[in-house]
Structure 1
């Protein structure tokens, strides 16, 4: 991630599922060539890009529930949040959740397993730092002073930290199942319009459904924590312990969702038996 386009047959407007699976496996070879410094910068960018979508979702929905209700508010939030993956895919960045797809390259014999572990550690930390820094920027932008933005941001963070381990794990699985399907479809698309649409629908669906994305939560919860320190916005329910209690199960769920239900499933269907030695 991001996918590297390869020439498609004349007249073919998108890759077939089999071609897409092969393309994703081939794209995984970048971890063998990409420098550590480049991986770090790309992972920071992904943290910024997902945070852009997260703050936009907070901003545009801070006063919509009384007007259009909770269901349509979730739809609006998901629609604008999809900006984050669009930026990752079209502009290029290293996103931890999308990099669950690297396991397809390892199963196909294109990269060693230890390279996946190395990439995941670096990218997860880079995404974390990028998300934290963006939360700090938004806090000091004072944009939260408009309307009920601060209350909305705190409410989002509180709802996430109140989840049980099991609920957070399952919501994480369901989330990255859709995120990785979005990456799969964006890889299949041969033009920017197709890639944007491929990102939009699954991402809108996971946000509207209430699923949990680890990197987004690295923005949502710290933002709530920063705002909850201000007079008039105090919240005893928001703590860094609550942050970790959310991030750990959601991250594990994201790994399971992306690896098992997308990477492993499509490797089994299309690439099993054609392993590169």
Structure 2
């Protein structure tokens, strides 16, 4: 059977985190760059579908194609390493420490941002014919997304910041569930189905994904969005990164680790003793 039991994929999660810690700087950055670029293309695709059809659900339904491709190709998103890499440290794998965890996160962040920024520039060129004309409908939509999800939060002050953070938490709860779901199956169709469902949920619900935002907001700035780089960093990217970290590690990584990799002691069961026919069995003690 292609299904992998929880105890087995929990061990795979720890092994994956350890492998990422010891990956070379070169490979880490390249894989992160490609992950950011592919996810950005998927976001551009989903926005295009939504604008052209007027159906946000259809855009959300199709967005996971990019997520599935990048993970099947072995590329890494910051949201995924937030969940997997700390498990190798918590499990006390040799040579894995806080510094090596932070190193991996930093390299993946840089790679993801560079990849997403590359696609943001490419898409800005596409929707403006090389900045020769005003943005088309897709370009206008990209600009307004950046406004509503920066200035829109800022208008509500602390309540807006809390909402932004919680949306980041909920996002990586779903996205990291998709990362882990790929480990639940040994077949490509099984992996794709497992990844597709939670990622579709996050996108349609409008939760905040730090790497998707690395594409949406720079492209919005290039296309005339009415917000600043400071608005983007303070009222989206930084709180979203923190929320993504908390959501993925708390609701996915640590919970699966605690209950499948390092399970608690099983409760004692009563011992039953067979008695002559016609009588009920009686509890004779506890193991």
Q: What is the aligned counterpart of 2:253 among 258, 263, 273?
A: 263
Counterpart selection for 1:61 from 50, 53, 56:
50
Partner Cα separation in structure 2 for residue 58 and residue 83 of structure 1: 13
Q: What is the CA–CA distance in structure 2 between the aligned matches of 1:141 and 1:208, rounded to whole Å?
A: 25
SS in 2 for 1:211: coil
- Any residues of structure 2 matched to 1:147-186 within 5 Å, and which? 148-161=137-150, 162-163=152-153, 164-186=160-182
CA distance in 2 between partners of 1:52 and 1:219 (Å): 9
The alpha-carbon deviation at position 103 of structure 1 amounts to 1.6
In structure 1, C-alpha distance between the alignment counterparts of 2:79 and 2:193, rounded to whole Å: 19
Could you say which structure has the greater relative contact order, defined with CA pairs below 8 angstroms and 6 or more residues apart? Answer: 1
Number of equivalences: 249
d(CA) in 2 for partners of 1:223, 1:134: 9
TM-score, normalisation: structure 1: 0.85
The alpha carbon displacement at 1:273 in A equals 6.6
2:95 is the alignment partner of 1:108: no
Find out whether 1:23 has 2:6 as its counterpart.
Answer: no
Q: Where do 1:195-214 residues align within 5 Å?
A: 195-214=191-210
Q: How do 1:138-153 residues align onto structure 2 when only pairs under 5 Å count?
A: 138-142=123-127, 148-153=137-142
SS of aligned partner of 1:92:
coil
Are the aligned partners of 2:168 and 2:207 in contact in 1 as well (CA < 8 Å)? yes
Q: Which residue of 1 aligns with 2:112?
A: 127
Counterpart of 2:285? none
The answer as to whether partners of 1:50 and 1:84 remain within 8 angstroms in 2 is: yes
CA RMSD of aligned residues (A): 1.8
Contact 2:33 2:112 in 1 (8 A): yes
Moved more, 27-36 or 262-271: 27-36
Q: Contact conserved, 2:127 with 2:136, CA < 8 A, in 1?
A: no
Aligned 8 A contact 2:128 2:136 in 1: no
2:21 & 2:163 partners in 1: Cα distance? 36
Structure 2 gap segments, 5+ residues each: 154-159, 265-287
Deviation at 1:48, TM superposition (A): 0.4
Question: Aligned in 2, Cα 1:135/1:92: closer, same or farther, shift over 3 Å?
Answer: same
Tell me the equivalent position of 1:117: 102
Alpha-carbon offset, residue 63 of structure 1: 3.6
Task: Kindly provide the CA deviation profile for residues 78-133 of structure 1, in whole angstroms up to 9, marking residues without a partner as x.
Answer: 22221221122101112100112212222112232321111001101111111111
1:233-272 mapped onto 2 (5 Å cutoff): 235=225, 237-245=226-234, 246-272=236-262
Report if the CA contact (8 A) 1:45-1:127 is conserved.
Answer: yes
Structure 1 residues 76 and 21: alpha-carbon distance in aligned structure 2, compared to 1, 3 A threshold: same
1:77 aligns with one of 59, 67, 71: 59
Following the alignment from structure 1 to structure 2, what is the Cα–Cα distance between the partners of residues 22 and 157?
A: 39
TM-score normalised to structure 2 length: 0.82
CA distance in 2, matches of 1:114, 1:74: 41
Residues 1:225 and 2:221 are matched in the alignment:
yes
